[in-house]
Amino acid sequence: MTDQNSTVISNAFPAPELGEPFLLTPGPLSTAFEVKKAMLKDWGSWDVDFRALTADMRKRLLRVLGAGAHDYECIPVQGSGTFGVEAMLGSVVPQEGKVLVLSNGAYGQRAAETMRYLKRAYYLLDKGDYLPPRGDEVATILLNDPAITHVLAIHCETSSGILNPLNEISKATRAAGRRLLIDSMSAFGGVDISPDKIPFDAMVSSANKCIEGVPGFGFVFIRRQVLESSKGNSHSLSLDLYAQWATMEKSGQWRFTPPTHVVAAFLEALRLFEEEGGVLARNTRYTRNRDVLVSGMRQLGFETLLDHAWLSPIIVSFFCPQDPAFHFDRFYYLMKASGYIIYPGKLTVVDSFRIGCIGHMDDHIMQDVVKAAADALKEMGVRDAAPPANVIEERNRLSSM
């Protein structure tokens, strides 16, 4: 157990300045003081200094991608991560293409909705909230539908925290001669995804997830050949990846006003990321955060939504306790009063809540989170945090299928 003041004395990851609560949410998340400080300067978007920032950022992001990155370009896109997903789908999928959307949560559903807006064909494999899309399922669907040109996979489905099996999905896609697109928004930088292991045509992430920057833009990694053949394919002026890239290559500038301060903060975040030791170090820290969180919460009686094998180091969903004294709104308020912002559940069927493991914090903070949860339960008069028995039975039944 740690004492009351451990958030203050844990000097590697001190409590946020100005008494801010920790954001246990998968982006926006808690950022380092240096990242916030990097936003205190104004930049001219056309100026040579800012153009150098942009070029440096694109180069360093490709370096994070790891082995095989030389075949790819990195294109930043203004807006939240969803803008990046829409830019990727609209730019890469031909008007007459068809996408197999692998869904097991809100972000898979959002990708399908994007396809409807784009008025391009798709087939939705909907696995509900608990279960990963498997390689053999992908293989069967591709075999039976030769019109499918692309497969879209969500790397970590942030609505449940499930880490989807990209390896087997990638193998099945490649074996069928189709193209893989990845939403690795919440995993890139925290989970290894180098294209020499998982060859993809395009992959998207954003500034405010595992690199630990602030929100304001996304970025798409796209195979150079695919990019070159995507000219004129986009449905959208502002989300046209080819046009954004062509302008950046020619003038070093973004096509429209860039989020200058966010880019400066992101470069500082990248510097801290590299200093920590890159993807491997970050994966280790996040995994430790998760393990401390999950084992502590289990000791209080909480159960995870997912079978242990599918837990990501990004975010964990817990069932709400059965005890009638438990009310999520009150729990949320008490956690916030202790200095921790948690996340409501985003599931369709059962009551749940989520706690993120990413951001500028370590396992000492997670021990304090568990302690705050124990105090909140006590305050509410909840004796046992166990979920209803039928919910667990249903989970176990589904995951053994």
Ligand X SMILES: *Cc1c(COP(=O)(O)O)cnc(C)c1O
With contacts defined by CB under 6 A, name the span among 127-135, 181-189, 228-236, 357-365 that binds ligand X.
181-189
With contacts defined by CB under 6 A, name the span among 164-172, 179-187, 278-286, 334-342 that binds ligand X.
179-187
Shortest separation between residue 48's beta carbon and ligand X, angstroms:
30
With contacts defined by CB under 6 A, name the span among 74-82, 162-170, 256-264, 382-390 that binds ligand X.
74-82
If one asks whether residue 154 binds ligand X (CB under 6 A), the answer comes out as yes
Q: Which of residues 97-116 bind ligand X (CB under 6 A)?
A: 107
Nearer to ligand X among residue 86 and residue 368 (C-beta): 86
Side-by-side strand order, sheet with 352-356: 315-319, 352-356, 343-344
**Bridge partners, residue 206, by sequence:** 218
With contacts defined by CB under 6 A, name the span among 15-23, 81-89, 225-233, 382-390 that binds ligand X.
81-89
Nearer to ligand X among residue 100 and residue 358 (C-beta): 358
Nearer to ligand X among residue 231 and residue 261 (C-beta): 261
Q: Could you report how far apart the first and last alpha carbons of the chain are, in Å?
A: 39
Nearer to ligand X among residue 169 and residue 377 (C-beta): 169
Q: Which of 30, 78, 80, 114 binds ligand X (CB under 6 A)?
A: 80
User: CB within 8 A of 124, min separation 6: which ones?
Assistant: 101, 103, 108, 112
Residue type at position 158:
T
Nearer to ligand X among residue 183 and residue 363 (C-beta): 183
Nearer to ligand X among residue 184 and residue 234 (C-beta): 184
Q: Which of residues 226-285 bind ligand X (CB under 6 A)?
A: none
User: CB within 8 A of 259, min separation 6: which ones?
Assistant: 78, 216, 217
Distance of CA 88 to the CA centre of its chain: 16
Strands 179-183 and 202-206: what pairing? parallel
Question: Quick one: CA dihedral 278, 280, 283, 289, positive or negative?
Answer: negative
Q: What tokens does 307 get?
A: 């079978």
Shortest separation between residue 154's beta carbon and ligand X, angstroms:
5
If one asks whether residue 185 binds ligand X (CB under 6 A), the answer comes out as yes
Residue type at position 62:
L
Shortest separation between residue 52's beta carbon and ligand X, angstroms:
27
Q: Which of 78, 114, 158, 160 binds ligand X (CB under 6 A)?
A: 158
Nearer to ligand X among residue 26 and residue 135 (C-beta): 26
Length of the chain: 401
Residues 246-254: contacts with CB within 8 Å, 24+ apart? 248/54, 248/58, 248/75, 251/51, 252/51, 252/52, 252/54, 252/55, 253/45, 253/46, 253/51, 253/54, 254/45, 254/54, 254/76, 254/78
If one asks whether residue 81 binds ligand X (CB under 6 A), the answer comes out as yes
If one asks whether residue 186 binds ligand X (CB under 6 A), the answer comes out as yes
Pick from 277, 270, 210: nearest CA to 30: 210
Q: Which of 7, 25, 82, 283 binds ligand X (CB under 6 A)?
A: 82
Shortest separation between residue 193's beta carbon and ligand X, angstroms:
13
Shortest separation between residue 180's beta carbon and ligand X, angstroms:
16
Q: What Cα–Cα distance (Å) separates residue 240 from each residue in 76, 90, 192, 380?
A: 11, 8, 27, 51
**3 state DSSP class of 27:** coil
- List of residues contacting ligand X (CB under 6 A): 26-27, 80-82, 85, 107, 154, 158, 183, 185-186, 206
